[in-house]
Homo-oligomer: A and B are copies of this chain.
Amino acid sequence: MPRQAAPPSGVPGFRFAGVACGIKESGRKDLALIVSERPAAAAALFTRNRIKSPSVTAGAQNVRRGRLQAVVVNSGNANACTGPGGLRDAEAMCAETAGHVGIGAAQVLPSSTGIIGVPLPMDKIRRGIAAAAAALSPDAFQDAAQAIMTTDNGPKTAAASCRIGGRTVRVAGIAKGAGMIAPNMATMLCYVLTDAAVAPAALRPMLRRAADGTFHAITVDGDTSTNDTVLCLANGVAGNPRVTRGGEGEDVLERALTRVMKELALKVVADGEGTTKLVEIRVDGARNIAEARKVAFTVANSKLVKTAFFGQDPNIGRFMMAIGNAGVPVVEETIDIALGGVKVVRRGLAVGTRESAAARVMQRPSFTVRIGLGMGEARTSVWTSDLGHEYVRINSDYRT
């Protein structure tokens, strides 16, 4: 897990709000606003599910120009499978927010998360946006993180800072997600904010690369939602020389973005519905990255592997079975597997004597499964959770 930064409290030039407007029957916070004091460079990644929430459609449209100034998010209702009315509602959320904040509706990105197939309760949402706009504050970062939660056990935040051109630049993010977590986009919702000055043309590829090793490398249940969004806003308040593609500060800013996104992504897996384990599946010796990812995700999504994690059972048969099912021409005789440094398979054969040591590794809350394919030089890591009784309980009771 990445080093824990100080509990993040916001980013200069951004105000936040998180209020309860009655979408959630529980009365918990369910509407969040994030507003920048000036137009910010913006880049986003959205779900690759063919069935998309109209909120995603509206957000993708607005982010296309590379500039945004506000984000409005409701939790408790996903505004998905809601037809043309759903698109009108998403646009109304933007217009309502824009009216209160004094910007254009096209400067707003809307997101929704929660139950699918039910129209948004727009009266409640209008009241919620008004209340949130009145409550906007640089100090309400944690309120916003709480207001985007659904089955999450707690708010997920992360922060980092770096120096660019003699200026201190801040990066902070909030995320939500605990189920329907799968690569392409892994989290349901994530907003990363920075006061760096960046050209939109530089921000987009930076966000894509940062996602590859973070939100595109995690899985809880292999199911990708209809609403997944990762957005980055950069408002330039830090006053650094503007970061351009290939220019000064690009690397250092990308590292800070990646650090924040990695911490948030791992928090999503660790908070996966009913999760008791956070497991890194590290594949090396693949012929190329695509094959490394296929093997890693087939292992990471196998129900039999994930129940073995829950059972803390160093069951090499399940790993070998899953590796063989990846659709990659693996060679049994060159496969090595280690659990937290304890070799359990060498050249395709069980290393039987190490089983109690391997079982002790699996009792840890977090460990690494290292799979060597012995075919080439490509490597990758993905992170997954176990599959236990709590997953079943939550997902047979909870209405998505």
Q: Point out residues on A near B: beta carbons under 8 Å.
A: 49-52, 78, 80-83, 115-118, 179-180, 182, 221-226, 302-304, 307-308, 310-311, 313, 315-318, 320-326, 328-330, 332-333, 345, 348-350, 352, 387-389, 391-393, 395-397, 399-400
Contact B308 A396 (CB under 8 A): yes
- On whether A116 and B316 interact (CB within 8 A), knowing A311-B396, A324-B49, A349-B81, the answer reads yes
* CB neighbours of A399 from chain B (8 A): 313, 315
Beta-carbon contact of B81 and A348 below 8 Å: yes
Chain B residues whose CB sits within 8 angstroms of the CB of A115 once the complex forms = 317
Chain B residues closer than 8 Å to A117, beta-carbon distance: 316-317, 320, 345, 349-350, 352
A50 and B324 contacting across the interface, CB-CB below 8 Å: yes
A85 to nearest B CB, angstroms? Answer: 9
Q: Given known contacts A50-B332, A226-B320, A304-B179, is B400 in contact with A315 (CB within 8 Å)?
A: yes
A182 and B302 alpha carbons, distance in the complex (Å): 11
A292–B117 Cα distance when bound, in Å, is 23
Contact A223 B302, CB 8 Å, known A50-B329, A320-B81, A399-B313: yes
A307/B392 contact (C-beta < 8 A), A317-B117, A325-B223 known: yes
Question: Provided the pairs A321-B116, A321-B224 are in contact, do residues A345 and B392 lie with their beta carbons within 8 angstroms?
Answer: no
Known contacts A81-B348, A303-B303; A317 and B392 CB within 8 A of each other: no
| Contact status A392-B395, CB under 8 Å | no
Do residues B330 and A51 form an inter-chain contact, with CB atoms below 8 A?
yes
Write 11 A-B pairs (CB below 8 A) sorted by A numbering.
A51-B323, A81-B332, A116-B315, A118-B352, A223-B304, A226-B317, A303-B387, A307-B392, A318-B400, A388-B396, A391-B392
